[in-house]
């Protein structure tokens, strides 16, 4: 069983680092700046079922670059990533979510608030995360690996 899963979020929120924590890549990161996406694969087991996740790591969105919605077509769910040390990235995540739902309908997603290792510099508090309205959210650190596996596991469970 295969699932297409997308990594979506603002620029430099740590999406690629989260994927790098999760899998060993064979493609260069230069694809992110050229094609706008890099694809990786990870096999996980959920409820004794082997699931192959095809991870589409989409280039982060900023004022110069927009996420290509066509890349999200057919995905089973997405990991919406924000940077805990930058509140605007949570707003960007909200914007992305609404655009995705507008163009592709409601899809399972998990909100991952990244950079937990820099918790002293955090601007995003729990209230803000709760206000986001995500059914599932998790704090992660690509640097230490905390919450990374959990984030993907939660997403897989939602898509099954």
Partner 1 sequence: MDDASSKEALQALRLLLLTVESTSAESEQLRELLLGQYELDELSALRKLLFGEQLRQIAELQRRLDDAKIRSREVSRILPEAIILRAARDKHLVKALSPVFEEAFLSLLRREPRKFAESIAPVIGPAVRRSIQLALAQLLQSLNQTLDYALSIKGWSWRWEAFRTGKPFAEVVISHTLLYRVEQVFLIHRKTGLLLQHVVAGSIQFQDPDLVSGMLTAIKDFVQDSFGETERGLETLQLGDLAVWIEQGPHAILAVVIRGIAPQSYRAVLQDSLEGIHVEYGYLLDEFDGDAAAFESCRPQLERCLQMQLKTSPASTNKAVPALLAVLGFILVSIVVFVVWSIYGRYRFEDLVRRVDAVPGIVVLSAERREGKYFISGLRDRLADEPQVADASVVVSWEAFQSYEPEIVRRRLLSMLQLPRTVIMEFRDGMPRFTGWARRQWLVRAQEVVTAIGVDKADFSGVVDLDSVRERLEARELYFSSGTQLVDGQRIDAIVSDLKLLDEAKKAFGIRVEILGYADRRTGTKRVNLWLSTARAQRIRDMLVAEGIDPALLEARADKDFLEQRKVKLRVFLLQE
For residue 106, count other CB atoms closer than 10 A to its CB.
8
Residues β-bridged to residue 113: 82, 139
Residue 16 Cβ, how far from partner 1 at the closest point, in Å?
A: 15
Residue 33 Cβ, how far from partner 1 at the closest point, in Å?
A: 12
Residues in the chain: 160
Q: Applying CB under 8 A, which residues contact partner 1?
A: 1-4, 26-27, 31, 35-37, 39-41, 51-52, 54, 56, 68, 70-71, 73-76
Given a contact cutoff of 8 angstroms between Cβ atoms, the answer to whether 152 and 42 are in contact is: yes
Residue 61 Cβ, how far from partner 1 at the closest point, in Å?
A: 15
DSSP, res 135: S
- Closer by beta carbon to partner 1, 45 or else 130: 45
Residues β-bridged to residue 111: 80, 137
């Amino acid at each position: 069983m295969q699932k297409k899963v997308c990594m979506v979020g603002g620029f430099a929120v740590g999406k690629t680092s989260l994927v790098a924590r999760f899998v060993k890549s064979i493609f260069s990161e230069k694809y992110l700046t050229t094609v706008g996406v890099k694809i990786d694969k990870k096999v996980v087991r959920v409820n004794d079922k082997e699931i192959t996740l095809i991870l589409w790591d989409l280039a982060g969105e900023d004022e110069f670059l927009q996420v290509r919605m066509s890349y999200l077509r057919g995905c089973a769910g997405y990991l919406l990533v924000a940077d805990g040390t930058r509140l605007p990235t949570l707003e960007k995540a909200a914007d992305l979510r609404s655009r995705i739902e507008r163009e592709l309908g409601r899809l399972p997603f998990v909100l991952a608030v990244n950079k937990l290792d820099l918790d002293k510099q955090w601007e995003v508090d729990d209230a803000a995360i709760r206000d986001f309205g995500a059914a599932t959210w998790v704090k992660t650190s690509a640097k230490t690996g905390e919450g990374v596996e959990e984030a993907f596991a939660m997403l897989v469970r939602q898509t099954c």
